[in-house]
Amino acid sequence: MQSFKLCALMMIADAHDNKALYEDVFKKFYDWGKQISISGIAGVDGESDLKPFTVLHNSDMKTQWILSNKGGGC
């Protein structure tokens, strides 16, 4: 029987909420999620590799609007 581990990552920025924050500060986090969905994660210490999977980024509607270039000023 396989066991799965759930991991939650958190990245905090003490900054004004604007588009540059997501494009510059959080870019590494979003790019990491894209890489995992393509190539997965290599296993360490004899553990097997993880196949590609989707990483979900939790956000509010304003953030979704900013990231999709559809607003966010309200």
Per-run averaged pLDDT (10 residues), the chain, 74 residues? 63 79 82 87 83 78 77 62
- The predicted pLDDT at position 53 comes to 81
Beta-carbon contacts of 44 under 8 Å, excluding residues fewer than 6 positions away, are: none
Global confidence as pTM: 0.56
Closest alpha carbon to 28 in 2, 51, 48, 57: 57
Tokens representing 13?
């920025």
Assign 36 to helix, strand or coil. helix
Whole-number pLDDT of residue 74: 56
Say if CB 30 and CB 57 are below 8 A apart.
yes
* 30 three-state secondary structure: helix
